[in-house]
Amino acid sequence: MKLNNGRYEMQGVDLLEVCNEFGTPVYVYDADRIVAQIEKLRGSFSDIQVKLKYAMKALSNINILKLMKEAGVEIDTVSIQEVQMALHAGFEPTQILYTPNCVSFEEIRMAVEYGVVINIDNIGILEQFGEEFGNRVPLCIRVNPHLTAGGNSKIQVGHIGSKFGISVFQMRHVRKVVEHFNLNVVGLHMHSGSDFLESEVFLMAAEVLFNEAQHFPDLQFLDMGSGFKVAYKENDITTNIEAIGRDMSREFKKFCASYGRELELWFEPGKYLVSESGVFLVSTNVIKHSPAAVFAGVDSGLNHLIRPMMYGSHHDIVNISNPKGTQRVYDVVGYICETDTFGSDRKLNEVRQGDVLAMKNAGAYGFSMSSNYNSRFRPAEVMIYKGEAKLIRRRETFEDLLHTQIEVL
């Protein structure tokens, strides 16, 4: 999104015109920005065998998945429904990594039937897998490295108290299970959290994985997860992708030399690929003055964008209807019957009733975490593709709210 002759645009498309055509609230994604992020990440690892597996939980619209496929990116899934969606988008089963957590074994059976790559993070499930499938089905094992890292406690998933992965201290037990059932372990996986800034965190995690890999002679890949930080505000610190690419490539080549052959290195970027591509456009319903603040109340809430309330996440907010207005301070709040503040003490160009506000960095974990709380409709989604605004999800209707309900009274 950029300001051009007094109008905010995306690929030359006027965002106010998008609102006029499709209404608000609406998520808008820049396809070119997504492709640019893919190319930047892939280019940072140009001299080793790297596969990118898009973490589709970040944004799972079928058109986004097809864009990823078009760009040569494969898929990381965390539920059987995501597996089904990825298959529907045209991905081959072997291009889909399935990393469940605390699911029933029946769901894992379904994933085996689909033929996707299974990633197991529980010793009990690993034993069940061995009893039922033996070495007939290749699998990956998720290791918890016990590294406390990430930008927020809720997105730190590699520490000792995390529910994710098998503790590195339990890997000796894992090897016994693998030997007992003659399991076909083709990959080791690790994901420690999100919003890492420096390559040192990845190198520390990689060292753990490299050490464990020596005990598994038939590996095809190592999966380092993701966690690359994007900019949430102007001049924000971001992950140095080039440095990570350089340092990880060097250490990975050393590992492959000691392992005896070249493996693939996998990453699972989600937020990094789609976050900065998205803006969330809302209309201002009311301007409300109180002794403590001036509220700009908009036609959305935590039912559409819960990240500020759930994680304390910052999203820059811009008044795209009045870009030259005098700056004033506002609390931007939603219409939900909860405290749903998008931003406090924000300096914005004067906001008037009816003005459209744009929340930046809304491409990841926006729509995908939305709900029908307060019986509100989920918003529309639009993708700017090759200079055209295309509706990729219609706004919900009252009939949608009733669709799965069964009246018995």
Catalytic residues: 337
Burial of 267 (0-12, 13-18, 19+ CB in 10 A): buried
Q: Are 24 and 356 in contact (CB under 8 A)?
A: yes
The pair of structure tokens assigned to 63 is 């058109």
Give 358's contacts (C-beta < 8 A, 6+ positions apart): 1, 8, 15, 279, 280, 281, 317, 318, 320
Nearest CA to 252 among 196, 185, 203? 203
- The total of other beta-carbon atoms located within 10 Å of residue 140's CB is 23
The whole-angstrom separation of Cα 25 and Cα 18 is 11
The pair of structure tokens assigned to 190 is 């690790």
Q: Are 343 and 317 in contact (CB under 8 A)?
A: yes
Count of alpha carbons within 13 Å of 209, Cβ hemisphere only? 34
CA 245 to chain centre: 20
The whole-angstrom separation of Cα 29 and Cα 14 is 13
The whole-angstrom separation of Cα 65 and Cα 71 is 10
The whole-angstrom separation of Cα 28 and Cα 20 is 13
Give 207's contacts (C-beta < 8 A, 6+ positions apart): 251
